[in-house]
Every structure is written in C-alpha cells, then in structure tokens.
Amino acid sequence: MSSIVDSRFSMELEEKEYELCGHPVKITMFKGASLGVSSYVWGPGLVLCRYFEAEKIDFTGKKVIELGSGTGIVGILAVLLGGDVTMTDRSDVLKQIEYNLIANVPLSSRHRTKIRALEWGNDQHKFPADFDIVLGSDLVYSPSQFSKLLQTLLHFCNDNTIMYLCSDVKYREGSARFHDKLLPEKFSSELIHTSGSSCVFKVTKKVPGDEY
C-alpha cells in the first residue's frame, strides 16, 4: 500500500495492489475527495473477486452490470475476465472508477466497458434490462436504501439473469434481515460461498412454486 498526493486532483490518493485471477490489479482510492464509503476496497468486494478466482468464472460474451462499483475492483476484474461490463455508482464516484479502469484495463479491451451514474430507485429505468449478470458487493448496509436497491435489482432481473451479491451479514446493519427475509420475498437466493462474515449469494428470478 502506498499513499501519495496527486496535484492533478489536489487530494490524497491511496493505492493498493492485488493479484486477482492472475491479473495484477492496482486500485487507487480517492481519499480526501469526500466519497465516504466509496473510497475503500471493502471485504465483500475482495471476497467476490476471490470467488470468481476459485470458481474460474469466465465472463466472455456476457453482458454485465455492476451496482455501487466504488473503487471499481469487482467490475474491473469482470472486464479482465472477458465481460462486456457497465460499472455504475453515484455520479460523484465515477471519476474514481474511471481512473482505476484506465489503470488496469488495456486499451484493446476498453470498448467492452462503460461507466454510468445509477442512483438506485431513480435511474434503473434509464438502463436496458437485458444484462446476463448483475454484480454487487457490500451494497447492503443502510436500511433506508433497501427498498430502492430491491427495486433496482427487480428491474435488472430477467428470466436468465444471474446476480452475484456479496454482503457482510454480521457487521453491516440490517444485512442479515435483507438476505434472510427481504431478498427471498422477491427472488430466489442461494448462499454459495462464505469467507469470514462475507457471504456470496447467487440470486435469480423467482419462479412460481419456489416458496414451497
């Protein structure tokens, strides 16, 4: 980890380096840009990356959208694993995602990337609903956002969509209730991997009879 001050942004930047699925990934966090929780690489994001690594997940040919990208670590890995990836977050976070995308994704793959503002509950209808994969790590921590997050997930979940959500179910407020109660009311949700208190859920459209 190193900490630098970049005069282009007149703020402190903190860098962390990872090796993910055989790819060196350098993530810069815009500390001092008042991005709050967005300027950290959170445990559930890393756990989701390590899950893709362990399962040798290949996103080639898949249309992927990531919600709440933050630093972009998960979406960037999905690009490096072949996906056609739209990374989203609140508008003030997009510069950080772009910085990391440019640092890690070769020019030859950038045509498979997009960075867009998406505020849950407000913006999802501006996006098509034909994504194969939805990614979300450490999105479940603020109960006031749960219903907006669910509306957004519902928009993106079609018959064939697979959503990989990774949450800290112990230390994030309301997370256990979200995953045990709220999410299963609307979706089929299966716990597929655990690392410490971070859990990866595979979430798909609810089919009639699922609840019995």
Ligand X SMILES: C[S@@+](CC[C@H](N)C(=O)[O-])C[C@H]1O[C@@H](n2cnc3c(N)ncnc32)[C@H](O)[C@@H]1O
Point out which residues bind ligand X (CB under 6 A).
37-38, 41-42, 44-45, 68-71, 74, 89-90, 93, 118-120, 137-139, 145, 148
- Residue 32 region by backbone torsions, left for phi larger than 0, else alpha for psi between -120 and 50, else beta: left
In three-state secondary structure terms, 65 is strand
- Distance, CA of 73 to CA of 52 (rounded, Å): 12
Which residue number, 145 or 204, has a Cβ lying nearer to ligand X? 145
Which residue number, 119 or 210, has a Cβ lying nearer to ligand X? 119
Minimum CB separation from ligand X for residue 81, in Å? 17
Q: Which residues contact 70 (CB under 8 A, 6 or more apart)?
A: 37, 38, 39, 40, 41, 42, 45, 89, 93, 96, 97, 138
Which residue number, 58 or 119, has a Cβ lying nearer to ligand X? 119
Minimum CB separation from ligand X for residue 19, in Å? 17
- Alpha helices by DSSP H, the chain: 43-54, 73-80, 94-104, 146-156, 175-177, 183-186
Minimum CB separation from ligand X for residue 207, in Å? 28
Which residue number, 105 or 165, has a Cβ lying nearer to ligand X? 165
Identify which of 60, 69, 77 has the alpha carbon closest to the alpha carbon of residue 25: 77
Which residue number, 129 or 160, has a Cβ lying nearer to ligand X? 129
Main-chain phi, psi angles of 33, to 5 degrees: -100, 15
Minimum CB separation from ligand X for residue 61, in Å? 24
Minimum CB separation from ligand X for residue 176, in Å? 16
